[in-house]
Structure 1
Amino acid sequence: MSKREAHQFWKFTEQLMEEESFRLIDVGPDRKRIWLQGDVDGQPWIVRMARVEYERLGRLEDDRHEAEKSFHGWRRRLALRKAKFANVYITSYPPADMTEPMKSGDREARSFLFADDNGRGLADAPPAVSTYLKTNEWTWGGLEEELEPEEHEQRASFYRRQAEKKQRELEQQDMSFFSSGKPIVTYTVLALLAVIFLVLERSGSSMNVNTLIELGAKYNPGIVDGEWWRLVSAMFLHIGFLHLFMNSLALFFIGGITERIYGTARFIIIYFAAGVFASTVSFAMNEQVSAGASGAIFGCFGALLYLGLAHQRLFFRTLGMNVLVILGINLVFGFTVQAVDNGAHIGGLVGGFIASVFVHLPGHRWQFVRVGAFAFFVLVFAVFFAIGMYRWN
């Protein structure tokens, strides 16, 4: 491929990013195939840029079909159900057996070919893509045809560096959401869980029901008798080393991310509100002695889901599918394994979500919905607590 096509490839990419705020979502190892995503007047778009040299139309068509399949994959991954697709090929010449412009069998996708077709009417021009995307008027002036190959190469390098610089700026904006605090409370709670587990083992055994009750597990008769502190203390006890290890591992990752996003003060409210809410739901629904930090950890999942509601694009660019998959696995595990207190898990998830609405994300202005979230949290908490008192009294 000539250096002129590389110049056009990177100039067009840089213009999409600079003029229309598109961002790179994938770059091939040879930098000849890149994917971008952006919005134009509220319409989400996914654009693929590909530098290719195909002698036969069949190979170009095969590539187009694969690109459209990949587009649907990206649309699912980024949760962009209404996204449309522009597939842009940049090549020196059209395939030798190409007799008409490119067509697409997908109504949500269209392919374009930038090439020197010697006036045969097979190729497109950058303004055609601009029209398809319904963007603002670009200042695309084409490429200077009289440039030497080395000058094309220099300009391609310049536009590539500009595109990469823009991408770094966008990524730094994303990462700013993960720098509202350091996981100080997360690490402190992890240390407390380990110390309390050692105390449990030295006091008898973390697997002994009497020891668990004595040191503060969720014990319904005790709560009915006024030992309401068990709704909090149960969050720090674990039944066996495996229980402690799995919850500590989850708290290290999920809790750490949540504290970085929301900041330490908000995280404290979310974590303990979710934990107490989870214990209360367990008190209402489950008569077994129970303990563990899993309800509070599910509250961190709820906080991340609220991030997904408030900043959907950011969520799916960074955490989205990983969080949803892990959450789904844990919920399925809870429904299929009898020993798991699934009421506490779901209670923690809901409690963490509601608490996140109340504290909101850093940098967001006060909204009346936060008052409603607080009132709703208190109301639901009171309902489940009353159910527990009625059932076990």
Structure 2
Amino acid sequence: MGFQEDYIFWTLAHYFISDQEYRMIQLSKGQDELWLEKLEHKEAKVIRLLKYNLDWSNWMQRDIENTAQKAESVRRQLGRKELPIFNIYITAFPPVDDYEFRISAPFKAEKGKASVQTLIIDSSNPESIDKIQAIFHDPLTLPAGEYTETDADAVKHAALSKAVNKAKKEKALFNFGKPFFTYMFVFIQLAMFLFLEWKGGSTDTSTLIKYGAKFNPLILEGEWWRFFTPIVLHIGLLHLLMNTLALYYLGSAVERVYGNLRFIFIYILAGFGGTLASFIFSPALSAGASGAIFGCFGALLYFGLIYPKLFFRTMGFNILVVLAINLAFGFTIPGIDNAGHIGGLIGGFLATGIAHFPKKKKIWLQLLFLAITVSLAVGLLKYGFSEPGNLMNEQTAVVMAQEYIKTEDYKKAHSLLADFIKEKEASAEVYFLLSYAEIKEGDLQNAKEHLKQVIKQKADFHEAHYNLALIYIEEENRTKAKQHAQKAADLNPGQEEYHQLLDQIADWETSGQQ
């Protein structure tokens, strides 16, 4: 083959690599066969360039068949339904015999879904290259005249340099930082889990509340740090293991792409976003790194927004599938705080938009993301603190009241439960706790009315009957006291203090009769 064919071969290579954004996947030792791909676009053809004197069309036919078989193998590996190959021969002479019928339509392998569309570029007729321009709709011209060895070497060097530089830049995007803070957060999670177990158990509600879980009533009281502390707390060993494994893989990927400082900014802001969304949309107590971990998904989606071709060629499909599965689990399995997951996902995406990429700046885009983030955070916080009744359910109110009662802060327990009853329908348990706080505060009249409400809703609530009996004793109503004490003892015969109260009432009656 001469310099003319070399020049055309490498001009085409440079055109596909530079203008059409293809990447080199295979170059033969003799540098006369080159395969190029653009897998991020499913419709894009894989391109094969071959520099060869065809001579006879039967050899060309065998080569096309072999190319189709090879393409079929690649198609199965990639899992694609179809794989079109654009097969381009650069030759000094077309086949001497009839060949047009062999390339008039794409060749398909038997029992396969790969197809080979063939085009012959005649080096003695540079105008034949116009067929490629018509297919790819981008200018492609060859200067007139003969091409020298220097010309061929120059365009070859340009094509290979472009391919190598593109590969280096792509590789550099995934290796900017080392995952130092990822490992640090893994260590903190493990240490905090052991600490919680030591202090009372990672599944114990009181322990979780005491050491920083997301708990809406306390956030509403001003404990703002609870927007951040849940990131390092976990409820149970399985929760810890799942989140630690996810953090190890996702966090490492994000920290390598964005660097250490950007990663910690993204991770913490995503964790805040997850807790904030949970605060607004989920009244239940919660903890865990899930929101921050979903923020890592958000960071990788931002990568896909800025570098869509590279994203889908490398990790894009897998990231989207894993993300979809996790969100689906959140919507279908009870007990999962999907509001926190989605909040973390959005928070991570927005945080990455603010930070952008290392050594790269897009000030207008970063300012836009900052404005959106601040507006969204301020809006949600304002809504949450102005509508506190929407941020608590009965379980949360009961847990908080029990915590106040444990610390003998009966005034706060009374205020919390009274406000809750005004806003929403309450169960017998809520009325009972309210009556207990009222008894401790000396408000026996309201306590009596609320205990009657308990019994009205739940007639077998033996503790309510017992407390009513005590109130009636204070009122010196022996008949009512005996009636409710007897009911409590009948409902729960094993409770010794119920029988003691009955004995006390009996002695009272005896002494009264005497």
Fold shared per TM-score above 0.5: yes
- Superposed, 1:309-348 pairs within 5 Å as 309-348=305-344
Task: Confirm or deny that 1:137 pairs with 2:127.
Answer: no
- The answer to whether the 8 A contact 1:232-1:275 is kept is yes
Task: Confirm or deny that 1:235 pairs with 2:224.
Answer: no
Name the CA shift for 1:212/1:19 in 2 (closer, same or farther; >3 Å): closer
Report the CA distance between 1:140 and its aligned residue: 8.3
- Superposed, 1:343-382 pairs within 5 Å as 343-362=339-358, 363-367=360-364, 368-382=367-381
Name the CA shift for 1:56/1:132 in 2 (closer, same or farther; >3 Å): closer
Name the CA shift for 1:62/1:381 in 2 (closer, same or farther; >3 Å): farther
Report the CA distance between 1:258 and its aligned residue: 1.8
What amino acid is the match of 2:88? Answer: V
Aligned equivalents of 2:48, 2:191: Cα separation in 1: 55
Report the CA distance between 1:255 and its aligned residue: 1.6
Structure 2 residue aligned with 1:41: none
Report the CA distance between 1:259 and its aligned residue: 2.2
- The answer to whether the 8 A contact 2:176-2:256 is kept is yes
Task: Confirm or deny that 1:173 pairs with 2:169.
Answer: yes
Tell me which structure has the larger Cα radius of gyration.
2
Question: Which SS does the other structure have where 1:100 is aligned?
Answer: helix
- Superposed, 1:39-188 pairs within 5 Å as 46-49=45-48, 51=50, 55=59, 60=64, 86-89=86-89, 98-100=99-101, 102-104=103-105, 111-114=117-120, 125-133=128-136, 134-139=138-143, 165-188=161-184
Report the CA distance between 1:366 and its aligned residue: 1.1
Structure with higher helix content:
2
- The answer to whether the 8 A contact 2:61-2:102 is kept is no
Structure 1 residue aligned with 2:266: 270
Question: Which SS does the other structure have where 2:47 is aligned?
Answer: strand
How far does the alpha carbon of each residue in 1:3-38 deviate from its partner, in whole angstroms, 9 at most, with x for none? Answer: 999968963554335763743254399995622349
Structure 1 residue aligned with 2:498: none
Greater displacement, 56-65 / 293-302: 56-65
Aligned equivalents of 1:278, 1:259: Cα separation in 2: 19
Structure 2 residue aligned with 1:80: none
Tell me the TM-score normalised to structure 2 length. 0.58
Name the CA shift for 1:388/1:310 in 2 (closer, same or farther; >3 Å): farther
Task: Confirm or deny that 1:23 pairs with 2:22.
Answer: yes
Structure 1 residue aligned with 2:285: 289
Question: Which SS does the other structure have where 1:88 is aligned?
Answer: strand
Greater displacement, 235-244 / 311-320: 311-320
Name the CA shift for 1:202/1:298 in 2 (closer, same or farther; >3 Å): same
- The answer to whether the 8 A contact 1:281-1:385 is kept is no
Greater displacement, 55-64 / 250-259: 55-64
Aligned equivalents of 1:5, 1:288: Cα separation in 2: 74
What amino acid is the match of 1:336? Answer: T
What amino acid is the match of 1:100? Answer: F
Aligned equivalents of 2:325, 2:96: Cα separation in 1: 48
Aligned equivalents of 1:46, 1:96: Cα separation in 2: 29
Aligned equivalents of 1:325, 1:114: Cα separation in 2: 41
What amino acid is the match of 1:365? Answer: K
Question: Which SS does the other structure have where 1:114 is aligned?
Answer: strand
Report the CA distance between 1:237 and its aligned residue: 0.6
| Higher RCO by CA contacts (8 Å cutoff, separation 6 or greater) | 1
How far does the alpha carbon of each residue in 1:113-144 deviate from its partner, in whole angstroms, 9 at most, with x for none? Answer: 3378xx9x9xx944532454332423487888
- The answer to whether the 8 A contact 1:57-1:96 is kept is no
Question: Which SS does the other structure have where 1:325 is aligned?
Answer: helix
Q: Which runs of 5+ in 2 are unaligned?
A: 108-114, 393-419, 421-514
Q: 1:308 aligns with which of 304, 308, 314?
A: 304
How far does the alpha carbon of each residue in 1:277-328 deviate from its partner, in whole angstroms, 9 at most, with x for none? Answer: 2112112222322111010111111122122112222322333112112211
How far does the alpha carbon of each residue in 1:181-234 deviate from its partner, in whole angstroms, 9 at most, with x for none? Answer: 332222211111111111122223223233222222122232233323222111
Aligned equivalents of 2:277, 2:293: Cα separation in 1: 15
Question: Which SS does the other structure have where 2:321 is aligned?
Answer: helix
- The answer to whether the 8 A contact 2:4-2:146 is kept is no
Aligned equivalents of 2:349, 2:176: Cα separation in 1: 19
What amino acid is the match of 1:366? Answer: I
- The answer to whether the 8 A contact 1:127-1:140 is kept is no
Name the CA shift for 1:338/1:19 in 2 (closer, same or farther; >3 Å): closer
Question: Which SS does the other structure have where 2:224 is aligned?
Answer: coil
Aligned equivalents of 1:29, 1:198: Cα separation in 2: 57
Question: Which SS does the other structure have where 1:322 is aligned?
Answer: helix
Aligned equivalents of 2:201, 2:96: Cα separation in 1: 75
Question: Which SS does the other structure have where 1:216 is aligned?
Answer: coil
Question: Which SS does the other structure have where 1:229 is aligned?
Answer: helix
What is the percentage of aligned positions where both structures have the same residue?
Answer: 32
Name the CA shift for 1:94/1:195 in 2 (closer, same or farther; >3 Å): farther
Q: 2:214 aligns with which of 213, 218, 222?
A: 218
Q: Count residues with an aligned counterpart.
A: 364
- The answer to whether the 8 A contact 2:258-2:357 is kept is yes
- The answer to whether the 8 A contact 1:12-1:126 is kept is no
